[in-house]
A and B are shown apart, each in its own frame.
Chain A
């Protein structure tokens, strides 16, 4: 029997707040972090979508000038969240060779890549920054976080689109279970709010175009939903071997009870409920819990016409006792590679406070919706030993399901 893996630190920068407390408070209050984009490039490049969930506290407000110049925004956000998570864990003394990082990104340093290509075209090859490669590479956030805390047991970067953040936490759990490390900083980050990704997702008809109602645009399970809302930010969790956490007297939020990961091998973009169901069942089996121990699900639920109902049918099938479901992307937008991490943090906090966060903007729910959705206000969760799911599904047919349990 291996040690349990527990969660001893949390860090967030999101459209709802610059830290965990403000983000969680805004989520429980049902506030939207989505706003009109006030950038010259919106008009200049005729952006088809003119709103998104930008960081509530810009990274430049909390980082030094060299940090903002030497890191792509995706790495900046990860470092902001990792600093908080590390401090929250008590900035522990640990053998660096027993400390790892797994920080995911869906897209990587897209701002760096595209702005340096602009420099090249406008000013020539000598104006391309020598830092371009170390800034744009998708492993940069993980590497930067490893340097921040001196983690030398391995720095990893799952890239599985919108499943990346959940996959990172699952992989980090397995690293600790394998015996390779005692602590891992795990999570995801994304900084996708640039005209090209906005136009590209819009061309897939994946994005909401509700330009006249940005804060009402992300509406999972509502019959009028028309796509997801892009968000940015990062979430980082400190995962730790339970015996290690107990030995140093750490505060434990919850434990990672189960992880299931599958691939669809079906379509490069369309979700496949069959693969999602196998991921959820694999997580349940990994946890050894009864399905009735699950009291809450933070759904992937991005507000796309196809995806939401597919997942809802899977949740209803795997968890027929109908636990309370929350779709927090209704408030944060979709952080892509950061989503699974932010939403796992929401799931951990929901268990801590025994409150499922609300799903906003659902005024006309799908008539055949087979789940018990927490709408508008938080919902009480039962006392005692309970557990909750977080799902993350990504383009490419990546399905990652995590179960966290109270301790």
Chain B
């Protein structure tokens, strides 16, 4: 059951909200995890871990560093579940 990109964005926003307390509407595609959302590496690994389970995908550790923006993560997850 593939999720649409908008569903993935919404799901990621919920995860970020639960892990950091940031409001979901602050989590938009163009935002940088580190520069805009102030998410450190440990929190990023936690977001990735929860997202993997939520969307049924694997995001290899070596790919996480390339996920600069929320949109990058949405695209990666969308392709990974294809």
Contacts and interface: CB of A to CB of B under 8 A. Distances in A.
A116 B45 CA distance: 15
B81 interface: no
Contacts, number: 28
B46 A129 contact: yes
B65 to A, nearest CB: 14
A66 B21 contact: yes
B18 A66 contact: yes
Contacts of A70: 19
B53 interface: yes
Interface in B42-65: 42, 45-46, 49, 52-53, 58
Interface in B1-41: 17-21
Given A64-B21, A70-B19, A131 B42 contact: yes
Contacts of B42: 130-131, 134
B54 to A, nearest CB: 12
A362 to B, nearest CB: 47
Nearest to B50: A129
B49 A127 contact: yes
Nearest to A123: B53
Contact of B45 (A65, A123, A130): A130
A126 to B, nearest CB: 7
A108 B56 CA distance: 32
Contact of A131 (B20, B46, B52, B58): B46
Interface string A49-93: 000000000000000111001100000000000000000000000
Given A65-B18, A65-B21, A66-B18, A127 B46 contact: no
Interface of A: 64-66, 69-70, 123, 126-131, 134
20 contacts: A64-B21, A65-B17, A65-B18, A65-B21, A66-B18, A66-B19, A66-B20, A66-B21, A69-B18, A69-B19, A70-B19, A126-B49, A126-B58, A127-B49, A129-B49, A130-B42, A130-B46, A130-B49, A131-B42, A134-B42
Given A66-B18, A66-B20, A131-B42, 19 more contacts: A64-B21, A65-B17, A65-B18, A65-B21, A66-B19, A66-B21, A69-B19, A70-B19, A123-B53, A126-B49, A126-B58, A127-B52, A129-B49, A130-B42, A130-B45, A130-B46, A130-B49, A131-B46, A134-B42
Interface of B: 17-21, 42, 45-46, 49, 52-53, 58
